[in-house]
Amino acid sequence: MRRLPISLNFRPRLLVTAGLLALALGACDRTRDAAGAEQEALVYTHSTPQAELFVEFDPLVTGAKSTFAAHFTRLSDYKPVTAATVDVILSGGGAPTERFRVAAPRAPGIFAPTVMPRATGRRTLSIVIAAPGLQSRHDLGEVVVHADAAAALQAGPAPGATEGEIGFLKEQQWTTDFAIEAVQPRELRESVIAPATIRASADGAAEIVATAAGTLRASGRFPALGDRVARGQTLAMLVPRLGTGTDVASLQAEFATARSQATLATADAERMQRLFAQQAVSHRRLQEARSAQRVAQAQLRAAQQRVSQLGGGSGGIALKAPVGGTLALVPVANGAAVEEGDVLFHIVDRRELWLQAHVSEADAARLEQPDGAAFELPGLDAPVEIRAGDNGRLIGVGSMIDPESRSVPVIFALSKPDPRIALNQNVQARVFTGRARTALSVPVGAVIDDSGQRVVYVMRGGESFSRVPVRLGLRDGNRFEVLEGLKAGDRVVSRGAMQVRLAAATPEAMGHGHAH
């Protein structure tokens, strides 16, 4: 199992002073020389895939107690471990293995095992935590167990130790939305930025318009905005205005006339058939009678179909939904007077929406094979991403530059869209070009705009951070490519960067002291 690098710092006892230790742990032995001088604390930060350990303790002296302040953070949610058994293990150096255990924390996330080594010399230090759903071993490398306090003081600080200039305590990290991420190479997709519009699919929307001037009548409950309707469902009745030639009386009269003419034409055709059989009329006369019969029957069917559209007590023309979906627009009400051509209902099938992006001609050549798009909307926690073959598909890429907008249309279909996405909404979209490259990256939330300069905060130790300016490259969803400023293995604040910035700007606002 790959481990993240260990950060080892020696620093003055600013965080493990006697007063603070006495407050949380009770009195413990201090590492002093004969003149009473204090030795600096040892500080380690170490992570495994499951947990992060930040520990402080006095240099180890044979036969002397050193109380560890071991902070354990569960990396699944970056919260303190509240129940566990912690073992401090000293091994190697030609001496028997020594184990020191504590079965419960002194405070949430803070464990205080007391170590009193029996063997002097170079030992290997490990700290193991066992909790429900968590088993994590932290091998911290070699430490020296000194023969006495004078030897520990004489050893001095470790060479090359580094420390961040911003302090942000574990207790503060645990009570905020906070997380750390190790910078590693990732595959990032190239993209271009383009204005875009959310619209209905080509066959997923329909408008019902008035075919004649008249009055709307409900055929039941009058439809309302947001109602689901089925294909072929009658939404309302349009009662044409009298005097237009399409009123109810005229339609009924046309039907009666057509029925009478069809009856007469059928009788005449039958009579001609009998006379032709007796060679009393010519074959041409028989054909003329049959043709007249067919015309009369067609006129009857048309009149019958028009009359069949009448319904309700007052009659009318049924307005039926040509597609199933949701009513996105209902600008009329029951009893409203409408004119020919007025839009009465707008139906949208929201099972699939289209994102139509307009890629500028300067970026059009970069569209190798677009495989997705992403856009942000106010009110949504994360960008909406369309992934071809997953929750969407590519409809098409234009092959001609629009002469007015100087752009190329790129259309993606989004399946099962969030109901909060509104039609005809203008958004800023990222169209993924189909190309990708491997590079270092950080979450978008890790980057702070500090007076026009992009910066991130890097953890140098468990409670110390540095402000690092970065130069960014492409953006893939919620990640930025990092071109300069970071290296693989750097641990950046992925959530809570603004809190660290506040701690740097106003340390007094973030609190003082350490609850060990």
Residues 491 and 371 reside in one and the same domain:
yes
Predicted pLDDT at 244: 47
Neighbours of 452 (CB within 10 A): 5
Taking a C-beta distance cutoff of 8 angstroms, is the pair 459, 493 a contact?
yes
DSSP per-residue string spanning 336-364: -EE-TT-EEEEEE-TTEEEEEEEEETTTG
- Distance between alpha carbon 383 and the CA centroid of its chain, in Å? 5
Sequence-distant (6+) residues with CB within 8 A of 461 are 7, 9, 43, 45, 54, 163, 164
Residues in the chain: 516
Using CA atoms, how far apart are residues 12 and 417, in angstroms rounded to an integer? 56
Predicted pLDDT at 203: 86
Predicted pLDDT at 448: 94
Pick the closest to residue 435 from 188, 267, 260, 223 (CA basis).
Answer: 188
Predicted pLDDT at 446: 95
Locate 235 and state its tokens: 């939404």
Q: Label residue 218 exposed, middle or buried (CB < 10 Å: 0-12, 13-18, 19+).
A: middle
Residue 42 belongs to some domain of the structure: yes
Neighbours of 493 (CB within 10 A): 26
Residues 195 and 210 reside in one and the same domain:
no
Residue 55 belongs to some domain of the structure: yes
Using CA atoms, how far apart are residues 112 and 104, in angstroms rounded to an integer? 9
Residue 174 belongs to some domain of the structure: no
State whether residue 497 is helix, strand or coil: helix
Locate 194 and state its tokens: 């383009």
Locate 193 and state its tokens: 């930025």
Residues 189 and 330 reside in one and the same domain:
no
Residues 11 and 153 reside in one and the same domain:
yes
Residues 306 and 406 reside in one and the same domain:
no
Predicted pLDDT at 306: 67
Locate 442 and state its tokens: 């950080």
Using CA atoms, how far apart are residues 55 and 40, in angstroms rounded to an integer? 14
Taking a C-beta distance cutoff of 8 angstroms, is the pair 300, 256 a contact?
no
Using CA atoms, how far apart are residues 344 and 216, in angstroms rounded to an integer? 9
State whether residue 155 is helix, strand or coil: helix
Residues 73 and 149 reside in one and the same domain:
yes
Residue 317 belongs to some domain of the structure: yes
Predicted pLDDT at 249: 67
Residues 243 and 123 reside in one and the same domain:
no
Taking a C-beta distance cutoff of 8 angstroms, is the pair 90, 117 a contact?
yes
Q: Which domain holds residue 127?
A: 7-162
Using CA atoms, how far apart are residues 456 and 347, in angstroms rounded to an integer? 48
CATH assignment at residue 281: 1.10.287.470
Predicted pLDDT at 508: 56
Residues 258 and 291 reside in one and the same domain:
yes
Residues 155 and 14 reside in one and the same domain:
yes
Residues 50 and 120 reside in one and the same domain:
yes
Burial 362-376 (b: 16+ CB within 10 A, else e): ebbeebeebbbbbbe
Strand partners, 456: 468
Taking a C-beta distance cutoff of 8 angstroms, is the pair 60, 146 a contact?
yes
CATH assignment at residue 71: 2.60.40.1930
Residues 129 and 243 reside in one and the same domain:
no
- Give 72's DSSP letter: E
Locate 188 and state its tokens: 């990032």
* Residue at token pair 């007052």: 314
- Give 510's DSSP letter: G
Using CA atoms, how far apart are residues 52 and 71, in angstroms rounded to an integer? 8
**Average pLDDT, 10 consecutive residues per value, the chain (516 residues):** 40 36 38 55 92 95 95 95 96 95 96 96 96 94 93 69 78 94 92 92 89 87 91 89 60 84 91 88 88 90 69 67 90 91 92 93 88 86 86 91 92 91 90 90 93 93 94 88 95 95 72 48
Amino acid at 455: V
DSSP per-residue string spanning 173-209: HHTSS-EEEE--EEEEEEEEEEEEEEEE-TTSEEEEE
Residue 2 belongs to some domain of the structure: no
Residue 500 has phi, psi (to 5 degrees) of -65, -40
Taking a C-beta distance cutoff of 8 angstroms, is the pair 174, 80 a contact?
yes
Helix (H) or strand (E) segment spanning residue 166: strand 166-167
Look at residues 316, 341, 366 and tell me which one is the last residue of a structural domain: 341
Whole-model pTM over 0.75: no
Pick the closest to residue 22 from 516, 379, 390, 475 (CA basis).
Answer: 516
Residue 176 belongs to some domain of the structure: no
Locate 240 and state its tokens: 């044409």
Q: Total structural domains in the chain?
A: 3
Residues 129 and 235 reside in one and the same domain:
no
Taking a C-beta distance cutoff of 8 angstroms, is the pair 77, 89 a contact?
no
Backbone Cα Rg of the chain: 40
CATH assignment at residue 481: 2.40.30.170
Predicted pLDDT at 311: 47
Sequence-distant (6+) residues with CB within 8 A of 460 are 7, 9, 162, 163, 164, 466
Locate 496 and state its tokens: 């809570």
Look at residues 321, 341, 361 and tell me which one is the last residue of a structural domain: 341
State whether residue 149 is helix, strand or coil: helix
Sequence-distant (6+) residues with CB within 8 A of 228 are 324, 325, 326
Residue 516 belongs to some domain of the structure: no
Look at residues 294, 311, 341 and tell me which one is the last residue of a structural domain: 341
Residue 172 belongs to some domain of the structure: no
